[in-house]
């Protein structure tokens, strides 16, 4: 495994390692305004949401690694501490990329990239009409992380108004994760699209606790078939199926398999584990467990 001391390599190379391994990163498409009323619009992938109460987002317009200059966004919020964080979806990704061009101060990225400005309700910088979700924010604090090229500047933003395109909402008035079609940044020139080809769902154990790896039967834990992800799913069950349910499932679903391999326990175990793995891929956790428990039942 390659081990690196970040103090011993060049900043551009360190930058590529960091961004190539930390991702996909959400994009803050931030609109700000200077003291003369000039609007700036720029994307930043050093960004995330950090609190719901209060609603806090942080993004970082870093100093230039080549010239050590600060970005217009940083300069603007230091003077007028307001910004709109516009979410980026796939429909606007190329226009957003164009807005990241190093236009001179005072040049409107709205005009250059063809976006439509919308008046905000509580702050001065405009919103991006084409963005599916727009967050009007007050800047609470700016934290400079250094004074050399590549140093970040944390813009700590408190959300004061949220605007959501209504066609993104489901029947519960929540944002449909397929409809919003978000994009994010990776290393180099690579982006990631959050669509049905890249999304999957995992039930989060918020109110219940899984049994854990330490409770897994040894034949399951030491399986040559089941992967770490498979075991993670199995260990996430709150309670193992009872013996009655396992016996009934074995009789109805597995009797043919057991009869065909009753003289070959090794192959039977392999088949059982492969079948359980297939059930896990379909998120049929209880059925996977009953399949596994049937082997020594």
pLDDT of residue 106: 86
205 within a domain of the structure (yes/no)? no
SS3 of 265-294: the string is HHHHHHHHHHHHHHHHHCCCHHHHHHHHHC
One domain, residues 92 and 238? no
231 within a domain of the structure (yes/no)? yes
Distance CA 56, CA 60 (A): 14
207 within a domain of the structure (yes/no)? no
One domain, residues 150 and 182? yes
One domain, residues 232 and 179? no
One domain, residues 78 and 174? yes
User: 57: burial class by Cβ within 10 Å (0-12, 13-18, 19+)?
Assistant: buried
From 144, 165, 193, give the residue that closes a domain: 193
One domain, residues 240 and 182? no
Phi, psi (rounded to 5 degrees) for 128: -100, 115
One domain, residues 99 and 27? yes
Domain that holds residue 158: 6-193
204 within a domain of the structure (yes/no)? no
One domain, residues 130 and 164? yes
pLDDT of residue 2: 96
pLDDT of residue 205: 67
Q: Which helix (H) or strand (E) holds 144?
A: strand 133-144
DSSP state of 8: G
Residue whose token pair is 């390599």: 9
287 within a domain of the structure (yes/no)? yes
Regions of the chain with pLDDT less than 50 = none
User: How much of the chain, in percent, has pLDDT values that exceed 70?
Assistant: 99
277 within a domain of the structure (yes/no)? yes
One domain, residues 144 and 75? yes
Report the CATH number that the domain containing residue 106 is assigned in CATH: 2.30.110.10
3-state SS class at 234? helix
pLDDT of residue 247: 95
pLDDT of residue 199: 92
- What is the sign of the dihedral through the CA atoms of 32, 34, 40 and 43? negative
One domain, residues 175 and 257? no
Contact call for residues 188 and 20 (beta carbons, < 8 A): yes
DSSP state of 126: P
One domain, residues 179 and 238? no
The residue among 108, 105, 104, 99 whose CA lies nearest residue 126 is 108
One domain, residues 179 and 233? no
From 162, 193, 224, give the residue that closes a domain: 193
201 within a domain of the structure (yes/no)? no
For the stretch 173-199, what's the b/e string if a residue is b when 16 or more beta carbons lie within 10 angstroms of its beta carbon? eebeeeebbbbbbbeeeebeebeeeee
pLDDT of residue 297: 60
From 150, 165, 193, give the residue that closes a domain: 193
Structurally, how many domains does the chain consist of?
2
């Amino acid at each position: 495994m390659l081990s690196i001391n970040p103090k011993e390599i060049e900043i551009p190379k360190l930058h590529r390692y960091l961004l190539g391994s930390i991702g996909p990163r959400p994009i803050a498409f931030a609109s700000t305004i200077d003291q003369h009323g000039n609007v700036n619009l720029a994307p930043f992938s050093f960004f995330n949401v950090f609190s719901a109460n209060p609603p806090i987002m942080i993004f970082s317009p870093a100093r230039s690694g080549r010239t050590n200059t600060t970005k217009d966004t940083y300069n603007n919020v230091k003077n007028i501490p307001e910004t709109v964080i516009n979410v980026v979806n796939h429909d606007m990704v190329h226009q957003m990329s164009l807005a990241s061009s190093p236009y001179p101060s005072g040049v409107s990225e709205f005009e250059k990239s063809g976006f439509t400005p919308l008046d905000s309700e509580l702050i001065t910088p405009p919103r991006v009409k084409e963005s599916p979700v727009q967050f009007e924010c007050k800047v609470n604090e700016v934290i400079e992380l250094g004074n050399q090229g590549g140093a970040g500047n944390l813009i700590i933003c408190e959300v004061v108004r949220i605007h959501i395109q209504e066609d993104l909402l489901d029947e519960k008035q929540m944002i449909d994760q397929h409809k919003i079609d978000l994009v994010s940044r990776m290393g180099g020139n690579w982006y990631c699209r959050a669509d049905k080809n890249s999304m999957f769902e995992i039930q989060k154990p918020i109110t219940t606790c899984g049994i854990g790896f330490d409770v897994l039967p040894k034949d399951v834990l030491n399986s040559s078939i089941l992967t770490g992800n498979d075991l993670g799913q199995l260990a996430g069950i709150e309670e193992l199926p009872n013996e009655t349910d396992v016996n009934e499932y074995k009789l109805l679903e597995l009797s043919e398999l057991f009869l065909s391999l009753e003289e070959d326990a090794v192959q039977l175990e392999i088949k059982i584990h492969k079948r359980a793995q297939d059930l896990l891929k379909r998120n049929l956790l209880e059925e996977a467990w009953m399949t596994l428990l049937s082997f020594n039942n």
